[in-house]
Structure 1
């Protein structure tokens, strides 16, 4: 397909896979509000990126595919999910003449090979970059919306155990805005990092979150606790990224 569809003023058609989820639903809303035609696709709409059911139909006629589907698990099964889903989506997108393919990934994802899920997301990036379609990768820091889940992994009725891993939380609405902006632009043929405006040790972020909820459990620093224990140094942060405006305290309130 020619790149003329990127000319300013032209209404573009977007197939947003995973378009009913936390980020996807907001990406669809943002693109449609900008005057484009963005259609959400997911298992609930009859599209299965693993079996391939409905994928060709979902991608047909699209200028841009935005793939926000995610592995149902974070374990050793996750690489197979991304391999199969990307193979199916790229084949369908190439057949349909799609001119731009966008995925959402994680800041520092290739620096944490100890984590199955991070290796899987790195594989997804590599498949896209090696594929036949002009592409963009948006890497985001950890979502503010996921903090409660992070706390629950290593909490009991008395204490919450967290490592002091540096985290730079970003609001989902800011992630969605960045993904929509990149998707509507010229393919990056590379990576754009986006991040929240502040860095916290994860244990401090835990204390702030619990205090806001009126939860008086103490947070104990435990360098072996939870998924982020595998992270070395500050690889999940990037103050040189495109920084979003929303601060964590403002998001909490």
Structure 2
């Protein structure tokens, strides 16, 4: 197996940690890029140095909140900086993690990710995109956003997938030969889940009562209820289920 040098943007984040781990386990050279390692994809600090000798950028950097305007600005800026610095460094391609259904999104964080895709694709360095379902880890984040002993979680359908599973698929995509004309690949969990029901499983362990709500206040809630953000027929489905993943946590 040939060794490739990967520069991972967002290397210390929820998904990035797994991407670094998977690529390292497979014998590749990995350059972690995050503010913790002295690289800032927004200001550009340390970016040129980190990309020296890199062949592939894996972009899994993300914004920390759901505000659409702030997230859009983050993704637009980071994508532009990665494209420009990648071109100057002679990077062969950029591989990015996106979210299933962003092409249908009209508001919220998913609409910001849609801009992220478009901005990366408009640059000179070739881009490969992997769209993933919401992560198992996202359920805990939903609970963290609420205070108290009761959490109100949307009873909306998803096909939750583990971050590790997404990282493995990203690594495969990053190293596979390009196949022109194929649809944007998708990765999702093995079965459909309801966010509120998954949150109830986690809430029981945390001592938090979870109440399912219709989610009408969420951006594009009607689209979500109709399954717009569920995987397409061509998606790859891979375990574990949310319950299996939860049972394996410390």
Counterpart position of 1:87: 80
Counterpart position of 2:139: 147
| CA distance, structure 2, for counterparts of residue 138 and residue 108 of structure 1 | 12
Contact 1:141/1:170 (<8 A) preserved: yes
Q: TM-score, normalised by structure 2?
A: 0.88
2:58 is matched with which residue: 40, 47, 66?
Answer: 66
Distance verdict in 2 for CA 1:221–1:20, change over 3 Å: closer
Where 2:117 maps in the other structure, the secondary structure is helix
1:213-232 to 2 correspondences below 5 Å? 213=205, 215=207, 217=209, 219-224=211-216, 229=221, 231-232=224-225
| CA distance, structure 1, for counterparts of residue 117 and residue 86 of structure 2 | 16
CA deviation after TM superposition for structure 1 residue 215, in Å: 3.4
CA deviation after TM superposition for structure 1 residue 111, in Å: 1.9
Q: Provide structure 2 residue ranges, at least 5 long, that are not aligned to the other structure.
A: none
2:191 is matched with which residue: 184, 193, 198?
Answer: 198
1:163 is matched with which residue: 154, 171, 177?
Answer: 154
| CA distance, structure 1, for counterparts of residue 139 and residue 111 of structure 2 | 22
Q: TM-score, normalised by structure 1?
A: 0.87
Counterpart position of 1:19: 11
| CA distance, structure 1, for counterparts of residue 88 and residue 6 of structure 2 | 16
| CA distance, structure 1, for counterparts of residue 115 and residue 208 of structure 2 | 41
| CA distance, structure 2, for counterparts of residue 52 and residue 218 of structure 1 | 41
Per-residue displacement from partner, 1:81-123 (whole Å, max 9, x unpaired)? 11111111101111111111011110112222121x2111101
Per-residue displacement from partner, 1:198-243 (whole Å, max 9, x unpaired)? 11222222223333x1637252433335567463411221163111
Distance verdict in 2 for CA 1:19–1:187, change over 3 Å: farther
Contact 2:107/2:220 (<8 A) preserved: no
CA deviation after TM superposition for structure 1 residue 22, in Å: 2.2
Where 1:61 maps in the other structure, the secondary structure is coil
Where 2:113 maps in the other structure, the secondary structure is helix
Q: Provide structure 1 residue ranges, at least 5 long, that are not aligned to the other structure.
A: 1-8
Contact 2:9/2:58 (<8 A) preserved: yes
Where 1:102 maps in the other structure, the secondary structure is strand
1:131-142 to 2 correspondences below 5 Å? 131-142=123-134
Counterpart position of 2:246: 252
Q: How many residues align?
A: 242
| CA distance, structure 2, for counterparts of residue 54 and residue 218 of structure 1 | 43
RMSD, aligned CA: 2.1
